[in-house]
Structures are given as C-alpha cells and as structure tokens.
C-alpha cells in the first residue's frame, strides 16, 4: 500500500496530465462517453485526464494523431467501431490502422436511433420509408464521415429502404445534431448517447432503435424490425487505445483505471440513462479488447469489399 515516497514523484506512471483524443467533434456521442470515463479515470489515476477533440475524415485524423504520438501513456485515443472498419474502408492512410495501437480496454456498446427533424412529414417508420422512396436525394442525411457509426447505419438504412439520399458529412454528430434540430438537414442515424435527451425533449423525431429489443431508456420507441425494417441490427462499441510500443505496465495501469470507471456508480447510472451500459470487467482488459477488435476487422472486411465503398 505504501509506495516509497520518491517513487511517485519521480518515475511512477502517471505523474502528469493525460490527454485522451476523441476523433470527432465535441458534444457528440464519443465525446460524451469519453468525458464520463475520463473524469472517473482521473480519480483512479490521481492525475487529470483531459479530452481533446480532433474531428474529421470519419475519425482517421484523430486516430493518426495518436498512432504517431510518443508511446508513453500520456496521449491516448478513445474510438468506436471505426477502428474495425477503417482498415478496410480507407486505402490510403498516414498511419497503421491496425499495427499503430495497443488496445487498452473496451468501454461500452451503444444502440443507435433513426431520427429526423421534428417537422419532417413522416410520423412513423413506415411513413419515413415511403417518404425516402419518394423524395430520394432531395432528402439530406447527416453523418460524421466515412467509417463513422452514422455513416454505417445510414448505409444499412438506405440499403433496407432501397433508395439513396444526399449525404452531408460533419466532423462529428454533435454539430450534425445542431443542424438537425435547426432543420437544415432531414435525417440521421446516431447513437443513443447523443440522441436520447433530444428525443425526450421533442427536439427531433425518432422512428426506431437499431437493437433486436426495445430499450429501457426509450421504451416507447419501436425496434426497426418491429416497425417493418429488418436488417438494421447495429450497436457501436468503444475502446481506449495507446500508441504502439507503450509499455505493458502502463497499458495495464490504464486498463485498471477504465475498469474502475466502469464500476463507478455515477458512470453506470449516466450510461443507463443514455441507453448504454459498461462492458464487463473481463472485456475491459487489453487481451479481450484486442481479440474483439481483430474479430470486428475480420467481420467488416468482406462486407466492405462486397459493397465496394472505399475512401481514399
Ligand atoms: C461522434 O462522436 O461524433 C460520432 O461517434 C460520430 C459517428 O461515428 O457517427
């Protein structure tokens, strides 16, 4: 329990502020999850953990920044399912999207919701499908760039509806939500961590959730399947990463801090209110996170190859 007095001050990790890069704009779902976890990690680590938003290009700009950083445990990345899709979607990157990182800990899995501006002339999913088939590219669909969760969900939706819309890319769904509430874009598919409060406030219209079962946090909202649109089963996982070459003891210390955050009652309660939950403590280990991440890359590769949709 009692560390030698000098050890903490001199070499023990961490002995200064840690930065976690969110590869999307402030105010969006990745930012919300990261800020909750970072605040709790600060208490466990005894150091401030600050969040830096580096949005753009579907999360690849922020990921590049961390892959190219010094591997000392002070500059980290909290990213989502984009870590599973980017290696197949992007053919030219300035960083190694697989080998450039040490996975630290999985954090959460988040359902998505299909939402629209509040005066959209459709009041349920069936009416929305009819509207999209009729208006097609006249409707604007907001997303956070290629590889973003909102992009993947939008692809699934347009495939299920069998009609294209006009895509409007943002640096994150935080600013996209502002425009949806303002009515300058028509539709979006976004994580419940960003949409729940706006749905409850009536600032946007909700058409469906993308999970097989309804959510306790939004019990009145039908699943896409029960509302007549099968094939829309999508949840978005998040994990923390350090640059490749970060010492194992540092990665393990960070993983323990994430695990402590995921046991924090305040984090658990806020996650539940926003329609999500922490992953298990076993899942929040470096080895389990690496296995999940690698499996997700393998899962998405054939899907992306079959779709033939790449970003250069
Ligand atoms: C965000 O944090 O802005 C989102 O996770 C973007 C997205 O992937 O749709």
Phi and psi of 48, rounded to 5°?
A: -70, 135
User: Model confidence over 236-271: pLDDT tens digits?
Assistant: 999 999 999 999 999 999 999 999 999 999 999 999
Q: Tell me, using a 6 A CB cutoff, whether residue 34 lines ligand 1.
A: no
pLDDT at 54: 97
pLDDT tens-digit profile of 180-191?
Answer: 999 999 999 999
Mutation probe of ligand 1 site: the residue of 190, 238, 239 with most atoms within 8 A of C-beta: 190
Distance in angstroms (rounded) separating the CA atoms of residues 77 and 60: 11
| DSSP class per residue in 145-172 | STTSHHHHHHHHHHHHHT---EEEE-SS
Q: How far apart are the C-alpha atoms of 74 and 193, rounded to whole Å?
A: 26
> Considering only CA atoms, which residue is closest to atom 2 of ligand 1?
30
Atom of ligand 1 nearest to the CA of 22: 2
> What is the C-alpha separation between 108 and 235, in angstroms, rounded?
10
Report the distance separating Cα 150 and Cα 44, nearest Å: 32
Confirm whether the ipTM is greater than 0.90.
yes
pLDDT tens by residue, 272-290: 999 999 999 999 999 999 9
Would the pLDDT of 199 be above 80? Answer: yes
Pick the atom of ligand 1 nearest to 143's CA: 9
Atom of ligand 1 nearest to the CA of 80: 5
């Amino acid at each position: 329990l009692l560390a030698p007095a000098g050890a903490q001050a001199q070499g023990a990790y961490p002995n200064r502020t840690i930065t976690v890069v969110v590869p999307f704009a402030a105010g969006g779902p990745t930012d919300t999850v990261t800020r909750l976890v970072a605040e709790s990690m600060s208490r466990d680590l005894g150091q401030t953990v600050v969040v830096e938003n580096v949005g753009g290009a579907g999360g690849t700009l922020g990921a590049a920044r961390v892959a190219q950083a010094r591997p000392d445990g002070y500059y980290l990345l909290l990213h989502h399912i984009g870590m599973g899709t980017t290696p197949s979607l992007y053919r030219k990157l300035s960083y190694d999207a697989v080998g450039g990182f040490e996975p630290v800990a999985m954090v959460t899995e988040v359902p998505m919701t299909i939402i629209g501006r509040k005066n959209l002339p459709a009041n349920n999913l069936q009416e929305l499908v009819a509207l999209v088939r009729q208006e097609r590219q006249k409707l604007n669909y907001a997303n956070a760039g290629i590889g973003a969760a909102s992009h993947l969900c939008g692809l699934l939706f347009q495939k299920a509806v069998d009609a294209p819309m006009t895509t409007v890319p943002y640096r994150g769904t935080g600013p996209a939500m502002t425009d949806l509430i303002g009515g300058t874009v028509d539709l979006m598919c976004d994580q419940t961590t960003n949409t729940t409060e706006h749905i409850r406030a009536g600032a946007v219209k909700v058409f469906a959730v993308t999970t097989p079962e309804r959510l306790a946090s939004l019990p009145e909202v039908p699943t896409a399947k029960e509302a007549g649109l099968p094939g829309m089963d999508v949840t978005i996982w998040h994990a923390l990463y350090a640059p490749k070459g970060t010492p194992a003891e540092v990665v393990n210390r960070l993983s323990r801090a994430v695990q402590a955050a995921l046991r924090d009652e305040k984090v658990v309660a806020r996650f539940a209110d926003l329609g999500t939950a922490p992953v298990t403590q076993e899942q929040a280990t470096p080895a389990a996170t690496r296995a999940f991440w690698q499996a997700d890359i393998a899962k998405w590769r054939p899907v992306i190859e079959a779709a033939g949709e790449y970003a250069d």
